[in-house]
């Protein structure tokens, strides 16, 4: 492994704090700065982790010439504009999901990344979760056979969440189910069709002028006979938190458990009927990482659950994905290769959700993905 070191800044210290010790221990990272609007919290985190650079202004941070890359963990509405600002400032960008909230912002991020020869990576947790890595390993070994169909879902009760969350259309935050659907075969979505179902409370509808309790989308894969079915809910649906991903192959299929914490179910073709299903616990894939950050696949920043960020605890630790995300971003920078997902792939994944909601508003009309989301 190269001994090159990347100077990194983390933007946003809510969920972003989960990544601090991973960067601190990664052999190719030098975490030199953090950014948080509240000075007291900035100093609390900075002192706890001995981080010298501290900024309450994102614009000021981007003027620091010693920073090579930023990892953005701010609220969803800020992702697009903050990524654009960082690319314009000559910084490589890792950004939590989704990439942006409009097709136009996604287009600009792709344009800038290519024009300035900079790396952009959307930090989609599910495509580095141990369950996904297990299914990907089965696929790459040929054990699934021909992949025939993919299904994914993300259901979560967001009642009481502040700011921009109330009434958010389900597909606006769909990368956790779109990402694995496209990521298994490293595919691109060609077009989508989506239907809304049910109705959320009137007080929630007024925020985005969207009534749908559930949005369910079909994705047609580009240059393929494959389709995926994804569904998403945020309000007024009784369901435990679940980010699920299922793959159906000609030899084996893998289904997500209905209840969090239960094992996956692997179905093997041509066995006697009672022997077809088998419960399987996903192995951990820490072996894919530098030894310094391997422990982070099984625990987070804090020892006590009450200090973990809510998105981390609700997502059952995001499947041990955080150190894999950091390593993919840094190793791509060090080796000068494209990460997964890169700018175009991130745009394709994100625009599926944005355009799916537009399709739902038009009664399921087929909407193609724009050309800039395809790798040329």
Is residue 323 a contact partner of residue 68, using CB atoms and an 8 Å limit? no
**Of 10-24, 291-305, 349-363, which gets the smallest average pLDDT?**
291-305
Do 207 and 274 lie in one domain? The reply is: yes
Q: Model confidence over 40-82: pLDDT tens digits?
A: 999 999 999 999 999 999 999 999 999 999 999 999 999 999 9
Q: Model confidence over 73-109: pLDDT tens digits?
A: 999 999 999 999 999 999 999 999 999 999 999 999 9
CATH number at residue 263: 3.30.360.10
**Burial classification of residue 361, based on how many CB atoms lie within 10 Å of its CB (0-12 exposed, 13-18 middle, 19 or more buried):** middle
Do 69 and 209 lie in one domain? The reply is: no
At residue 312 the predicted structure's pLDDT band, cuts being 50, 70 and 90, is very low
- Show the domain range for 22: 6-125+324-339
In a domain, 149, yes or no: yes
For residue 97, the 8-state DSSP code is S
In a domain, 223, yes or no: yes
Do 269 and 162 lie in one domain? The reply is: yes
Cβ-Cβ contacts under 8 Å for 255 (sequence gap 6 or more)? 246, 264, 265, 267
Domain count, the chain: 2
Sign for the CA dihedral angle at 328, 330, 334, 337 comes to positive
Reference 296, options 18, 105, 39, 8; nearest CA is 18
In a domain, 75, yes or no: yes
Do 121 and 133 lie in one domain? The reply is: no
Which pTM does this prediction carry? 0.95
| Tokens coding 307 | 């200090």
At residue 316 the predicted structure's pLDDT band, cuts being 50, 70 and 90, is very low
Q: Model confidence over 217-248: pLDDT tens digits?
A: 999 999 999 999 999 999 999 999 999 999 99
């Amino acid at each position: 492994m190269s001994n090159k070191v990347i100077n990194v800044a983390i933007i946003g210290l809510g969920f972003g704090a989960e990544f601090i010790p991973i960067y601190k221990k990664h052999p190719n990272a030098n975490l030199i700065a953090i950014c948080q609007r509240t000075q007291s919290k900035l100093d609390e985190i900075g002192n706890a982790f001995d981080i010298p650079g501290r900024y309450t202004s994102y614009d000021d941070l981007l003027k620091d010439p010693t920073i090579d890359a930023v990892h953005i963990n701010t609220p969803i509405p800020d992702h697009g504009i903050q990524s654009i600002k960082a690319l314009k400032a000559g910084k490589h960008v890792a950004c939590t999901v989704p990439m942006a909230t409009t097709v136009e912002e996604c287009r600009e991020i792709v344009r800038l990344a290519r024009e300035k020869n900079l790396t952009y990576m959307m930090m989609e947790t599910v495509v580095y979760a141990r369950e996904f890595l297990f299914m990907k390993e089965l696929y790459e070994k040929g054990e699934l056979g021909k992949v025939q169909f993919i299904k994914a879902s993300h259901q979560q009760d967001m009642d009481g969440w502040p700011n921009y969350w109330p009434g958010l259309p389900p597909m606006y935050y769909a990368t956790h189910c779109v990402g694995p659907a496209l990521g298994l075969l490293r595919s691109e979505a060609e077009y989508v069709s989506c239907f809304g179902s049910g109705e959320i409370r009137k007080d929630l509808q007024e925020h985005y002028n969207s009534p749908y309790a559930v949005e369910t989308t079909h994705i047609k894969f580009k240059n393929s006979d494959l389709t995926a079915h994804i569904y998403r809910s945020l309000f007024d649906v009784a369901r435990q938190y679940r980010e699920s991903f299922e793959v159906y192959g000609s030899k084996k299929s893998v289904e997500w458990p209905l209840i969090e914490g239960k094992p996956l179910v692997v179905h093997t073709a041509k066995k006697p009927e009672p022997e077809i299903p088998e419960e399987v616990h996903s192995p951990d894939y820490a072996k894919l990482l530098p030894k310094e950050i391997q422990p982070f696949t099984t625990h987070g920043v804090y020892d006590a659950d009450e200090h973990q960020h809510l998105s981390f605890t609700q997502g059952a630790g995001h499947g041990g994905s955080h150190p894999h995300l950091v390593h993919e971003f840094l190793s791509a920078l060090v080796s000068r290769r494209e990460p997964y997902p890169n700018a175009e792939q991130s745009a394709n994944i994100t625009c599926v959700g944005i355009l799916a909601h537009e399709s739902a508003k038009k009664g399921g009309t087929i909407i193609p993905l724009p050309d800039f989301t395809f790798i040329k």
